[in-house]
Amino acid sequence: MKAIRTSLFLGFCAACSVLLPDNADARGSAVIRESGHINIGVEPGLPPLGEYDARNELAGYDIDIGRAIAAGLGVEPRFVTLSSSGRIPYLLAGKVDIVLGGLTRTPERAEVIAFSHPLYSEQFAIISPFERKIMSFGDLTSGAHQLVEVRGSTAVAYLREHAPKASMLLLDSYVDAIRALAQGRGDAMVDVIEYVGHYLPTQPQVQWRVIRGFAPPVGDDCIGLSPQDVTLRSDVDRLLEKMEANGRLEAIHRKWFDPGTDQRAP
């Protein structure tokens, strides 16, 4: 009993340390400039947004955008790697100042974080092994098929709303999800093909069917920011407007995405 009481006391102390205000306040532009660096959350497992290149260095659309933002603020970019499910918690905990990683603007997310101007818009596709004979989104709404999805992705929320009967196996990364799908643990996956498409060649034994255009663009991909500080948000928006005007945003998009399928938001 003494051990239990001690454990409860230590747990109470730990809870108090969490509940009391700490230094997790969002850093504004002035603090960031003063510190000389900006912490940028990126997902390294989501090419072409973020990946490790041949030299084992971070590369991708988000990395270039992050570097441009940092250069615009006159500070050094410090990239913090995270997973899809960690994007918003890292931002809320003050571990990063801004977060990328294919962060789609949704009403639910807008209640807890702030968003920059859109970078581009994204659209879902159905990815399934050819032999599963999934021909349309309607095939997925009956609940007869098992879907494999990535926890924390916008597709999960979309499917819960538009295919509530669908059974989902939630894994932590795209590479795991595609492997599970290829091994027959599921029948299909719904996600942004520009992200998932990079993993399809890793399973060359599978003939994939990709169905596009069953839904309108699901949302705008933005930079996530803390809702507490408006100075950084206005600075980031100003920099994005400038990059839009001088064609830099367009150039980065064309560099990493297929130039023939430019989906950047107007």
Partner 1 sequence: MNRLDFHPVLVRLPYLLGGVWITILIAALAFGLGLSLAVLLVVVRFENRGVWRRMSRGYSTALTNTPQLSQIFAVFYCLPLMGVMVSPFLSVVIGMTLNAAAYLADILGAGMSRVPSVYHEVALTLGLNRRQTYLRVILPHVGRTMFPALANHFQIMILGSAMASIFGVEDLTGRAYDIGSTTFRILEVMLVTGALYAVLSFALAGIFMLCRRGLERMV
CA atoms within 13 A on the CB side of 75: 23
From 15-23, 63-71, 190-198, 212-220, span contacting partner 1 (CB under 8 A): 15-23
Overall residue count recorded for the chain in this entry: 266
The answer to whether residue 41 forms part of the interface with partner 1 (CB under 8 A) is no
The answer to whether residue 19 forms part of the interface with partner 1 (CB under 8 A) is yes
Q: Where are the alpha helices (DSSP H) in the chain?
A: 2-19, 29-35, 61-73, 87-92, 107-110, 138-141, 154-162, 174-182, 193-196, 230-245, 248-256
Rounded to a whole number of angstroms, the distance between the first and last alpha carbons of the chain is: 65
CA-only gyration radius of the chain, Å: 20
The answer to whether residue 265 forms part of the interface with partner 1 (CB under 8 A) is no
The answer to whether residue 163 forms part of the interface with partner 1 (CB under 8 A) is no
The answer to whether residue 93 forms part of the interface with partner 1 (CB under 8 A) is yes
Instruction: Give the DSSP per-residue string, 64-78.
Output: HHHHHHHHHHTSEEE
For the chain, helix (H) and strand (E) counts, in that order, are: 11, 13
The answer to whether residue 170 forms part of the interface with partner 1 (CB under 8 A) is yes
Could you say which residues in the range 217-246 bind partner 1, by CB under 8 A? Answer: 228
Task: For partner 1, give the closer residue by CB, 18 or 54.
Answer: 18
Three-state DSSP state, 94: coil
The burial class, CB within 10 Å (0-12 / 13-18 / 19+), for 85 is: middle
From 68-76, 127-135, 151-159, 208-216, span contacting partner 1 (CB under 8 A): 151-159
Which residues, listed in sequence order, are joined to residue 58 by a DSSP beta bridge?
A: 52
Task: For partner 1, give the closer residue by CB, 157 or 200.
Answer: 157
Question: In the block, which residue shows the tokens 């306040």?
Answer: 25
d(C-alpha 200, C-alpha 129), whole Å: 10
What binding mask, one character per residue, do residues 53-92 give for partner 1 by CB under 8 A, x or -? --------------------------------x--xx--x
Could you say which residues in the range 128-147 bind partner 1, by CB under 8 A? Answer: none
The answer to whether residue 112 forms part of the interface with partner 1 (CB under 8 A) is yes
The answer to whether residue 18 forms part of the interface with partner 1 (CB under 8 A) is yes
**Least spacing, CB of residue 170 vs partner 1, in Å:** 5
**Least spacing, CB of residue 152 vs partner 1, in Å:** 4
d(C-alpha 115, C-alpha 220), whole Å: 10
The answer to whether residue 203 forms part of the interface with partner 1 (CB under 8 A) is no
Name the residues that contact partner 1, by CB under 8 A.
Answer: 4, 7, 11, 15, 18-19, 21-22, 24-25, 85, 88-89, 92-94, 108-109, 112-113, 151-152, 156-157, 169-172, 179-180, 183-185, 228
